[in-house]
């Protein structure tokens, strides 16, 4: 018990360190630029403390429950030798976790509202969930076949670009964003554990090179599927309904966040909501474990404890965000747009992108695994800083794109071309991790803040259409970490070869 408390105290200390960049950014902008003290300051402080506790619980729960179960399942499937059941499990995990993903539900509802119902929220979610199920199954098949991930990802990007030229402009930004919101805080660790466990159990596979990459597939395929969905919807729609009618949407999104008010009922429903989000994953895991594999979970009590900690950690994390981060973040975003100083908007976008990514639980989970699998060659703190820097550049540039009114696909296509070039020069061990880095940056913390910033800019700047211009920031936040992580790998390889040549 004493040892467990000591470990948790260390996790809690690290959580507060992860939140420090957010606190610094918010304090600087609130105090020096906006020059006002938020009315709900005590609520913000309490909220951030709860976020830190939630993050610590979540990480400890992953280590105890989710990681061992995911890796154990992968090894058992590999021993069973049934490709059909392994691919069925991969599809089920991808579909069931995505269809209940809160970030996707929020984006789908927002798209339906802004498009005046032309984009159906339910069918958009189903399209994305099917695409993620397909992606995870395809990624698992790649590991089984031993094919290099770059061939699949580059082919996927080329397909995204081709489909973009046929897709209606109203769907492009939303499609690009859909790729970023599919990888949830619980899905990422489980999918990563599945890929690494599978690569570890198949002879001739390297966990670092072959094990990562499933998350990249889950971020890529929704872009293709949603654009095809948009082509169908807009071609079938009456010409008079295609132009989005903005009624309540603008007024709804423009509302400045108010102070958090405690409600026992809403608090309980938040917990129920988290359980509902995690339930599809647990049902899929235990069904395949006991019905298909026909083998009990190893260290079941320990795993259940870990799962409970993950649920409680996520719950505390979400409540803390609602109390502390979201109200102040949204308020600052809208106040900056009203000030009309574009440079301040870009600076805030850059800094909030960096700070929120450093606190992202999904990235932390992947970074821990990357350090473990690479035997310390990839340092988790360095990886997280490099990824956060990529997100910061992406959101800053994406904000400039909205202000300038440029079409999103020019930026994204140019970014994909750079990804292809970097892939050619980057060391093999860093490529799958860099591809996954793009998917894990847009999860629990980042998506709501980034979506609010993008839509807020599009609604407050004259001549911008929220449906065409407001979406897309999440896509920028997913793209640029791939470049910065591969750039880090190229630099590290150059330093190593230079060191060896001197010796």
Question: Can you give the pLDDT at residue 448?
Answer: 64
Tokens in use for 134? Answer: 């397909």
Helix (H) or strand (E) holding 489, with range, is helix 473-502
Give CA–CA dist 185/413, Å, rounded.
Answer: 28
**∠310-315-318 over CA atoms, to 5°?**
125
Give me the mean pLDDT over the 238-264 stretch.
Answer: 45
Helix (H) or strand (E) holding 2, with range, is helix 2-28
Other CB atoms within a 10 A radius of the CB of residue 104 amount to 25
Closest listed residue to residue 345, CA positions, set 311, 385, 310, 395:
395
Q: Where do the domains of the chain lie?
A: 2-502
Which residue carries 């599978």 as its tokens?
198
Closest listed residue to residue 77, CA positions, set 240, 237, 234, 294:
294
Query: Under 8 Å CB-to-CB from 325, ≥6 apart: which residues?
Result: 22, 26, 44, 47, 48, 51, 356, 445, 449
Which residue carries 């079941």 as its tokens?
300
Q: Considering only 305-309, 476-480, 493-497, which range has the smallest mean pLDDT?
A: 493-497
Question: Can you give the pLDDT at residue 481?
Answer: 93
Q: Considering only 202-206, 242-246, 299-303, which range has the smallest mean pLDDT?
A: 242-246
Question: Can you give the pLDDT at residue 330?
Answer: 62
Is the separation of the CB atoms in 270 and 317 below 8 Å?
A: no
Position 245 pLDDT exceeds 50: no
Is the separation of the CB atoms in 220 and 436 below 8 Å?
A: no
Q: What are phi and psi for residue 277, nearest 5 degrees?
A: -70, -35
Question: Can you give the pLDDT at residue 229?
Answer: 93
Give me the mean pLDDT over the 198-207 stretch.
Answer: 84
Q: Give DSSP secondary structure letters for 372-435.
A: HHTTTSS-HHHHHHHHHHHHHHHHHHHHHHHHHT--HHHHHHHHHHHHHHHHHHS-GGGHHHHH
Q: Considering only 150-159, 292-301, 426-435, 448-457, which range has the smallest mean pLDDT?
A: 448-457
Give CA–CA dist 121/102, Å, rounded.
Answer: 13
* Cα dihedral: 32, 37, 43, 49 (round 10): 30
Q: Considering only 8-12, 134-138, 255-259, 488-492, which range has the smallest mean pLDDT?
A: 255-259
Question: Can you give the pLDDT at residue 215?
Answer: 86
Higher pLDDT, 167 or 360: 167
Q: Helix 380-404 vs helix 408-425: angle between axes, to the nearest 10 degrees? A: 150
Is the separation of the CB atoms in 478 and 418 below 8 Å?
A: no
Tokens in use for 215? Answer: 């998350």
Is the entire prediction scored with pTM above 0.85?
A: no
What rounded mean pLDDT belongs to the chain? Answer: 81
Position 367 pLDDT exceeds 90: no
Radius of gyration of the chain (CA): 22
Question: Can you give the pLDDT at residue 256?
Answer: 41
- CA–CA distances in Å: residue 273 to residues 97, 131, 203: 13, 24, 41
Tell me the CB-side half-sphere exposure of residue 129, using CA atoms within 13 A: 21
Question: Can you give the pLDDT at residue 107?
Answer: 74
């Amino acid at each position: 018990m004493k040892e467990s408390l000591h470990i948790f105290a260390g996790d809690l200390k690290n959580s507060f360190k992860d939140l420090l960049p957010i606190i610094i950014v918010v304090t600087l902008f609130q105090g020096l630029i906006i020059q006002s003290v938020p009315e709900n300051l005590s609520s913000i402080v309490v909220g951030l403390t709860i976020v830190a506790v939630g993050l610590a619980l979540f990480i400890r729960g992953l280590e105890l429950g989710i990681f061992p179960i995911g890796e154990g399942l992968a090894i058992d499937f590999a021993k069973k030798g049934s490709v059909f059941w392994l691919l069925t499990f991969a599809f089920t995990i991808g579909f069931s976790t995505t269809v209940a993903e809160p970030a996707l539900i929020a984006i789908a509802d927002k798209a339906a509202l802004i498009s005046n119902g032309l984009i159906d929220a339910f069918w958009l979610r189903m399209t994305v969930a099917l695409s993620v199920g397909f992606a995870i199954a395809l990624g698992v098949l790649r590991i089984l076949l031993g094919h290099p991930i770059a061939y699949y990802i580059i082919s996927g990007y080329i397909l995204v670009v081709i489909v973009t030229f046929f897709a209606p402009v109203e769907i492009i930004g939303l499609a690009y964003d859909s790729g970023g919101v599919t990888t949830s805080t619980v899905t990422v660790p489980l999918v990563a554990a599945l890929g690494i466990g599978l690569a570890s159990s198949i002879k001739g596979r390297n966990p670092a090179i072959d094990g990562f990459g499933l998350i990249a597939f889950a971020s890529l395929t929704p872009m293709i599927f949603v654009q095809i969905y948009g082509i169908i919807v807009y071609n079938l729609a009456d010409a008079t309904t295609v132009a989005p009618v903005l009624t309540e949407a603008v007024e709804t999104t423009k509302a400045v966040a108010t102070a958090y008010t405690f409600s026992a009922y809403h608090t309980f429903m938040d917990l129920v909501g988290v359980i509902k989000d995690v339930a599809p994953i647990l049902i899929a895991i235990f069904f395949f474990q006991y019905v298909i594999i026909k083998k009990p979970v190893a260290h079941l009590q320990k795993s259940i404890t870990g799962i409970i900690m993950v649920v409680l950690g996520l719950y505390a994390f979400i409540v803390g965000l609602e109390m502390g981060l979201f109200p102040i973040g949204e308020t600052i975003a809208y106040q900056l747009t009203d000030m009309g100083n574009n440079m301040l908007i870009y600076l805030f976008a850059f800094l909030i992108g960096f700070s929120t990514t450093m606190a992202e639980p999904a990235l932390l989970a992947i970074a821990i695994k990357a350090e473990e699998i690479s035997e310390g060659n990839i340092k988790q703190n360095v990886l997280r800083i490099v990824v956060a820097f990529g997100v910061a550049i992406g959101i800053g540039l994406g904000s400039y794109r909205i202000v300038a009114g440029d079409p999103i696909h020019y930026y994204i296509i140019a970014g994909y071309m750079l990804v292809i070039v970097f892939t050619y020069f980057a060391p093999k061990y860093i490529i799958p991790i860099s591809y996954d880095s793009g998917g894990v940056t847009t999860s629990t913390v980042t998506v709501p803040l980034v979506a609010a910033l993008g839509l807020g800019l599009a609604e407050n700047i004259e001549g911008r259409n929220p449906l065409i211009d407001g979406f897309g920031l999440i896509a920028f936040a997913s793209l640029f970490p791939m470049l910065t992580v591969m750039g880090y790998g190229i630099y590290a390889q150059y330093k190593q070869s230079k060191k060896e040549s001197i010796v």
